[in-house]
Structures are given as C-alpha cells and as structure tokens.
Structure 1
Amino acid sequence: MRLRLYGFIAAAILLAVAGRAAATPSLVIDVATGDVLYENEATQPWYPASLTKLMTVYVALSAVRDHQISLDTPLVVSRRAASMPPSKMGFKPGTEVTLGNALKMLMVKSPNDIAITIAEGIAGSVEAFADDMNAAAGRLGMTQSHFVNPNGLHNPDHYSSAHDLAVLGRAIYLTFPQYADLFDIGAIRVGGQIIRNHNNMLGRYPGVDGMKTGFTCNAGFNLVASATRGNRHYIAVVLGAPNAQTRLVRTAVLFDRAFTGIDHPQPMEAEAASGGTPEDMHNSACRRRGHGVAVFQAETDRLEEPLQTQSQRPQSPLGLFNASALAQETPVALRIAMMPEPSFDPEPVGIGPVAGYNGPIAGPRAPHTPVGTPLLADVNPIAATPANEPSEDTPDASDDHDAAKVAATDEGDSDTPHPAKAEKPAKAKHAKAGKAKAYHEVAAKPAHGKHRLAKESKAKKSRIAAHTSKTKSAKLSKSKLAKAKVAKSKTSKTASKKIKSKKLAAKSHPKHAASSDN
C-alpha cells in the first residue's frame, strides 16, 4: 500500500513538472497569412538576447530603403563598440566596416561590438537607435516589446515576446524579400578564419532558411527559425530552452507539426501589451541544467506524440544523413539530433571601404543627424587592422560546458562555438615578409612576457640594493656620530678632571697659582 502511495506521489510530481514546462513561450505562424498554427504563452514577456539583432537589421534595412545610408557606407568602430563583451569581432576603434559586411557578421557571428557600430552609424548614438527600434516596434504592432540596446545584452528594461518576435520575423520577409539570403548564411570567411552560424537548424532541417539565435543565462536559448517547402513558409519561435540541443529538437517538432497538418491555422489576434516580469532562466540554463532539460524534454515528447503515428517511407541508411532525402520524410525531429554538422561554402566578408568608394563615413555623432555629419572628436579612423585577426575576450559558452563556464560568458550572447578553420599557409616569400613585419612590430612594442618580467625583476633588485645601501650608510653615519659623542664626552670629562686637579694644587701652592692663571 505504501509503495502504491509513493508511486502516486511520484507520478503527481512528474505531471506537475510537465505542466510547468508548458510555460515555455513558443509560436508558429504562416508567413503568407499571419495565421497562427501553434502557440504557448506567446505573450509572456521574455528577454530576447540576440534575437534583438533582428530588430537591428529591420531598422538598418529601413534606413537603406529610405536612402539615409547605403550598404557600401563605411561604419567606424567606436571605443564604446570595442568595449562590448563577447561575442564580438574584436576590431580596434577606428576600424571601418561597410554596413553590408556588418549585417552579414551580425547574422552569423552575432557580435555585440558590430551591433553597436551599426546603431551609431545609422542613428548617431545607441540611445537614438533604441528610439528608432521602439518606434518601428510600435508601427509593427509589437506591443509587448521594449528595446534599450541593439545587441540584446541583458537589461531588465529590454524585453519582447514570442508573439512580437514572430511579427518581426514576418515583417522582415514581407518588407525586404530581396535581403532574405542574409538570414541563410551558413558561414562567413573573415581573412583566414571561418565562422559558422550558431543556428544549428540550417543544413539539418529541410527547408530551413533562417533566421537568428540568441542566448544569455537570463534568457535561456532562444531561436526564431524560418522554413519553406513549396508554397508554405512558416516561422517558429522558441524561447527559454535549457540548451542548444533541446532548442533544436523542439523547433523541429513544431515545424513537423506544421508541415504535416497536425496544427491548423487560426487568425492571429491583435495582442495587447501584457504585464508581468520576464522569467529569469539563470538556474535552468546556466546552473542546475539537468532539471531544466528534463522538464523541457517532457513537453517536447508530449508535442511529438502525434507525429509518431505519421506514415513514413522506408528509409535507406544513407538517407539518414541526407538533408534533401529527409525533405520527403516526416517527422524529421526523430532524426535531426543524429545528423552530422553540415558543410557550408563560407561567404567572404572583410573590413575597410569598397574599392573606389568616396562617399561619407558613418559613426558616432549628434543623435539623428544625417550620415556625413562630422564624427565625434574621440573617434578618428585609424589604419585598418588585418582582416584575419578577429578576436574575442573570452570563448563562447558551449552547450557542453559546466554551469560555471556558461555563467562566465552569459552576457556574451554566445551559442555553442564552432572552431575556426585556418587557410593554407602563405607562400614562402610572403611568410618571410610577415615574419619581418612581425619582428619590427615586436621591436617597436614594450617588452612583454618573460622579458618584461626579467627587466622588472632586475629593476626591482636595483631598487632594493640602492635602498639597502642607503640604509647601511645611514646606520653607519649614526654609529660614527654616536662614537664621536662618546669620545667627546670622555675628552670633556678628562679635561674637567685636570682643571679640578690644578685648582686643588693652586690652593695648596699659591705662588704657582699666578703663573698658572696667566
């Protein structure tokens, strides 16, 4: 009887856990009609993390459309931009990058420094650009959103919702169809480094053609994904997943349900602004992740149950790892986690202006002044740094890292990193030239490493020796002075005794006293 009671209690706890998992915000919409196929807590306020950069792109493309700026306009990296935490490109202040290249970097690498560079280049300041973001959100009917920065780094006043992010994604595709390829770049090449897209749906789920990932410990793992098959185009939003893998499977399940007709379209209703505070995912995304994964997976399994009965063709072993073959198979979610990392032809991007460009340069300036207005005095273009030297202050947070390592980079909006692939070595003469250049650069720089330590140690020893010598000299002088005083004192006493003796003698022999006093 007691065992049955314990079993009942355990079952009740599992049901309660599964019930709480249903609060994870998600939404699937039809891009053509705006109809909703699936939604769960879609109006719940949420920290969007780098999904914010979709709004940054929307405002930037709107400025291009309105002829305020062009994709060839060079943007200057400011000191404020360069100070951003990872994920970042790591360009030095004064480096120039065109708006077109900056947008590609933004969608693939998700660098926080480039987001600031875009904002300052278009609106003059981050704060002015945030005003533009909120104005655009108002026009689109995003009533549950408020933006304070262009990169999504955590701020309690910076939030959105699954509903609003789906509205934004749809608006981008409908308003700027000519730029749809911007969200489908699997990798970029910056000099000798290849940087892969954090969106692990690309190349794995048939028909996926965008859009953007986002992660901070406060937000969890977020994704706005787009998939097209034939004349059907859907956008799925998943917020607050405990890791990148569970986010991948949940998104695949939602797309499977849409493409197989399990979820039927319903008109999207205009949503009023909802109150409440965004949920902080720090515990489930960066600390006690095991519990968060179990809860999230339980809800994914529930959503996947109707797909288990879907008829499937017999599949060859090779088809398991063939995305084009999988396009005819449903559900893909059952196999997507087993697929290998896809291969992409990297899109080349770089720094510096386009050859022959002689137009204005954009950067920090008076808010909302036109491009070409003089830049602020503390931002001056400098010689471009090598395009193959992007860097980060700290590594991106890996989905497999422990909680401490993930928490250490929670502000960097970093999904699972992909190692850079180096190009082939340069030809011999170029390599020698590079070494010579490196030698002169090192010679021009202050000593560093063990050489610097050696110099510092030598200087320190010299200071100590000098101090010791000075101290000894001081002690010696004091000692001599003391001895001199003692000697003087002895002499004085001796003289005093002689005088006293003479006086006594004078009293005893008066006739000798006169001659002695003269």
Structure 2
Amino acid sequence: MLATMAPGRAQAEALLLIEASTGKVLHAENATYPWYPASVTKLMTLYTTLKAIKDRKVGYDTLLTVSKNAVAQQPTKMGFKLGTTVTVDNALKMLMVKSANDVAVTIAEGVGGSLEGFADLMNANARRLGMTQSHFINPNGLPAENHVSSARDLAILARALINEFPQDDAYLHVHAIRYGNRVMRNYNNLLDRYPGADGMKTGFICASGYNLVASATRNGRRLIAVVLGSYSGATRAQKAAQLLERGFDGNGLSWLTPQLGTVDKLAPIDAAPPNLREEMCGGHRRKPPSEDNQEEEVENVDASATPGGGPAFMLSNLKPAAGKYVLGPPVETVPPVVVFTGPASHPDPVIATAAPGKKKKKVAAKPNGEGASGDKPKSSAKKQAKPKVTSAAQ
C-alpha cells in the first residue's frame, strides 16, 4: 500500500486492459488509484437493475414514474415531465445511450424504492463482486463526496455484466436511440468507429476528466479497456482504441510482457482520487467541456494545458505506435432503436431462447407509447422488444 496520494499531473490518467473471459491483465497504469467514475457509474446502475430483473423484483416492462427529484436532475437528461411513465427496458436504453441523469434517478427510485435504497443495492453488489475501491452515492455519477471507484473495479464490473447477463449484452452497445423526432447517438463513438466495438459506457465530470469503459471482440476474443482522466472525449476514444488494438495485435512480443495476473488480484492503493477540475474545466478551455462537447478539437490548446504537457491533436490526427489509424470516420452502421414513454405493447417478459451455439430468434414489437411531442412514433419505425433481440445490437 502507498501513502495517501494521487498520481502526479503528468500521470493524471488511469489505463487498464483485460481479457473479458479470464480477467487476465494485459496492461495497467494507475489502475488501482481511486477515481471519480462520473457517468461510468451507470454501468453499476445497469447491473443492479438487471440483477433485480433476474431476481424477479421488477420486469423489463415494469412501468417507472418520473418524480420531482428526477425532473430536477442536470445536466444531461431526457427532460421528461413529472409523472411520465417509462418501462425499465426503455429506461435502460436511454440510460446507456443518452446517459440521462433524470432516467437514472427514475430507475433508482423505481427499483430501489429511493435513491438511498438503490445506492445500498449498488454497494452491496460492489462488495459481492470484489470491487473493494468503490462506493456509490447516486445512480448517475454526478459529483458527490465519497462517490468513487477505480479502473480495477470498473473492469471487474464490466466483466460481471458480460458474464452474468449475456442475454442482456445489447444494452451495452446500442448505437443510437430515436425518441419521437429526436435521434440521440451513443457517446461511446468507438461503436461506429472501431471494428468489433461492442460496449460500454462513457463519463465526464470536471473532477474526473473524460472516462470510458470500452469493449471489443475480434476472432471470438473479447477485451475490456478502461480509460480514466483523459483530456477530451476524442483522446479517451483514441486511447481506448490503442489499448484494444495492442491487446488484439500483441506485436508478436507477448512472451516479453510481464505477467500481471488477473484484475481481481491487482492490489488496491490507499490514495485520494485525483481532482482534475482545474485542468479539465479551467479558463484555458475554448468551450466548456462536457459529454455533449466530447469531440472538442484541442489542436490549438497550449501544450502546457494538456495532461503531461504534451502536444494535443484532433482525433483524426492521433495514431497508435504502429503508425496505422485504428479509428476511422463515423459510419452509420445500424438504425436507431426506437424508444418511447408509456407501457410496452407486448407481455412481460419477451425472451428469445436458443440452444447453445445457435442464434437467437429476433422478436420485434411495434411501439405503443408517446413520442417527444406527445405523438406516437411513425409506424415505419419499428421498436424491438429488448435490445438483446434487436438488429441494432449486432
């Protein structure tokens, strides 16, 4: 254990790469420093909700009601009015794509009875999973004292989501949602720019910097990358892609790589989480940083303002060590998944089953709820029953 300290400014970033199936650590930097998780917290909100569904405490079609507390949430939100109802299934899609803080509170109050009750469930799950550096105060990751995690713990959580809820994996990689006339794209832009990307969640608050838990699969092998504390959404995406590419490629030198064991065996560090507020949200930024501004072009920012004092570049200029681009321009790979308020139009639950090794049948249902303007979505836009059986999750 180290004394209470935080990584120096030049190292104010945490990086971790693991194998999803085995938990084997392929790369680690500051992976066991406590960190403010920001909206990556919503992976635990998702896990806690899926566990409640598995335990039959709620269902995919259980209606949740937007409370006054949910309406008051800022800044990223769906903007629902007090008393609006939404199914657990639709709420989870909005949570994971839009990163909606009002929806996170709606889920927490509906599943846990209250924010405090849901936080208790989140922390109980964290303890059971061995997330020894994590403590959750709320379901959305907005700043709160003692709301912390680490790259190590978030990788453990990501593995648990993949391994315990394979039937719900598509919640992790819905590319975009359509609500009425609004189309909202996933903040995890690796989904449309990195081959094989299939998850998971982004996050940002000033104190944490830009965070990302990402996963990708190639030749049947799935890797999980965690990046905490990047200077922009563009750089966190590139760093995650570089980690994933390194893991898949190996450069033929894997036999020289020191054995780092499995993620659960990484020794937690007794440290205070770094507070990056000044360098992330200080006056040197050309525009206020946020998830909505995640693609900020930082090529004109003074080098001394970037973590480590190194040069800053646009996403399109960033390359891995091998010299090849690992992120291309955005590609419209799949249509948005239609989401809506109000009750579902099918019985609860609708679960497609298949024999091992066979593909699951696709089940689709037409939407039966209100759009953003109170109008029903156009009939030509089909809404799938749950993301695990939709084409948007391929």
TM-score w.r.t. the length of structure 2 is: 0.76
Tell me, yes or no, if structure 1 residue 192 matches structure 2 residue 176.
no
Q: Is the 8 A contact 1:246 1:297 kept in 2?
A: no
Structure 2 counterparts to residues 236-255 of structure 1, below 5 A: 236-255=225-244
Q: Give the equivalent residue in structure 1 for 2:88.
A: 99
Structure 2 counterparts to residues 112-127 of structure 1, below 5 A: 112-127=101-116
Q: Deviations over 1:17-57 (max 9, x none)?
A: xx853341110000011000000000111110000000000
Q: Secondary structure at the match of 1:46?
A: coil
Q: Distance in 1 between matches of 2:180 and 2:281?
A: 33
| Cα shift at 1:165 | 0.3
Tell me, yes or no, if structure 1 residue 58 matches structure 2 residue 47.
yes
Q: Is the 8 A contact 2:9 2:307 kept in 1?
A: no
Q: Distance in 2 between matches of 1:183 and 1:356?
A: 23
Unaligned runs of 5+ in 2: 1-7, 286-300, 350-367, 380-394
| Cα shift at 1:343 | 4.9
Q: Give the equivalent residue in structure 1 for 2:372.
A: 388
Q: Distance in 2 between matches of 1:46 and 1:192?
A: 37
Q: Distance in 2 between matches of 1:304 and 1:105?
A: 32
Q: Give the equivalent residue in structure 1 for 2:36.
A: 47
Q: Secondary structure at the match of 2:171?
A: helix
Q: Give the equivalent residue in structure 2 for 1:83.
A: 72
Tell me, yes or no, if structure 1 residue 267 matches structure 2 residue 261.
yes
Q: Give the equivalent residue in structure 1 for 2:291.
A: none
Q: Give the equivalent residue in structure 2 for 1:477.
A: none
Q: Is the 8 A contact 2:97 2:186 kept in 1?
A: yes
Q: Is the 8 A contact 1:71 1:98 kept in 2?
A: yes
Match of 2:210 among 212, 221, 226: 221
| Cα shift at 1:299 | 11
Q: Secondary structure at the match of 2:198?
A: strand
Q: Secondary structure at the match of 1:224?
A: strand
TM-score w.r.t. the length of structure 1 is: 0.59
Q: Which has the higher helix share?
A: 1
Match of 1:277 among 256, 269, 272: 272
| Cα shift at 1:132 | 0.6
Q: Is the 8 A contact 2:60 2:348 kept in 1?
A: no
Q: Distance in 1 between matches of 2:307 and 2:134?
A: 30
Q: Distance in 2 between matches of 1:348 and 1:340?
A: 21
Q: Secondary structure at the match of 2:223?
A: strand
Q: Secondary structure at the match of 1:146?
A: coil
Match of 2:167 among 171, 178, 189: 178
Tell me, yes or no, if structure 1 residue 129 matches structure 2 residue 112.
no
Q: Give the equivalent residue in structure 2 for 1:68.
A: 57
Q: Distance in 1 between matches of 2:320 and 2:11?
A: 14
Q: Is the 8 A contact 2:66 2:82 kept in 1?
A: yes
**What is the RMSD of the two structures over their aligned residues, measured on CA atoms?**
2.9
| Cα shift at 1:244 | 0.8
Q: Distance in 1 between matches of 2:194 and 2:14?
A: 21
| Cα shift at 1:65 | 0.4
Letter of the 1:353 partner, please give it.
P
Q: Which has the higher strand share?
A: 2
Q: Deviations over 1:145-184 (max 9, x none)?
A: 1000000001121010000000100110000001111111
Q: Distance in 2 between matches of 1:173 and 1:158?
A: 24
Q: Distance in 1 between matches of 2:22 and 2:250?
A: 16
Q: Distance in 2 between matches of 1:44 and 1:294?
A: 17
Q: Structure 1's 347 and 112: CA in aligned 2 closer, same or farther, altered over 3 A?
A: same
Number of aligned pairs? 326
Letter of the 2:278 partner, please give it.
N
Q: Is the 8 A contact 1:49 1:151 kept in 2?
A: yes
Q: Distance in 1 between matches of 2:20 and 2:309?
A: 27
Q: Distance in 1 between matches of 2:149 and 2:213?
A: 13
| Cα shift at 1:295 | 2.8
Q: Give the equivalent residue in structure 1 for 2:365.
A: none
Q: Is the 8 A contact 1:21 1:298 kept in 2?
A: no
Q: Give the equivalent residue in structure 2 for 1:461.
A: none
| Cα shift at 1:342 | 3.7
Q: Secondary structure at the match of 1:261?
A: helix
Q: Distance in 1 between matches of 2:179 and 2:318?
A: 43
Q: Is the 8 A contact 1:95 1:385 kept in 2?
A: no
Q: Distance in 2 between matches of 1:343 and 1:29?
A: 26
Q: Give the equivalent residue in structure 2 for 1:286.
A: 281
Q: Secondary structure at the match of 2:235?
A: helix
Letter of the 2:345 partner, please give it.
A
Q: Give the equivalent residue in structure 1 for 2:387.
A: none
Q: Distance in 2 between matches of 1:211 and 1:230?
A: 19
% of aligned pairs identical?
A: 46
Runs of 4+ in 1 over 6 A off after TM superposition: 298-303, 356-359
Q: Give the equivalent residue in structure 2 for 1:365.
A: none
Q: Distance in 2 between matches of 1:356 and 1:226?
A: 31
Unaligned runs of 5+ in 1: 1-18, 309-330, 360-383, 391-421, 425-518
Q: Structure 1's 297 and 233: CA in aligned 2 closer, same or farther, altered over 3 A?
A: farther
Q: Deviations over 1:241-295 (max 9, x none)?
A: 0101111111111111111114556421524543222111112222235334363
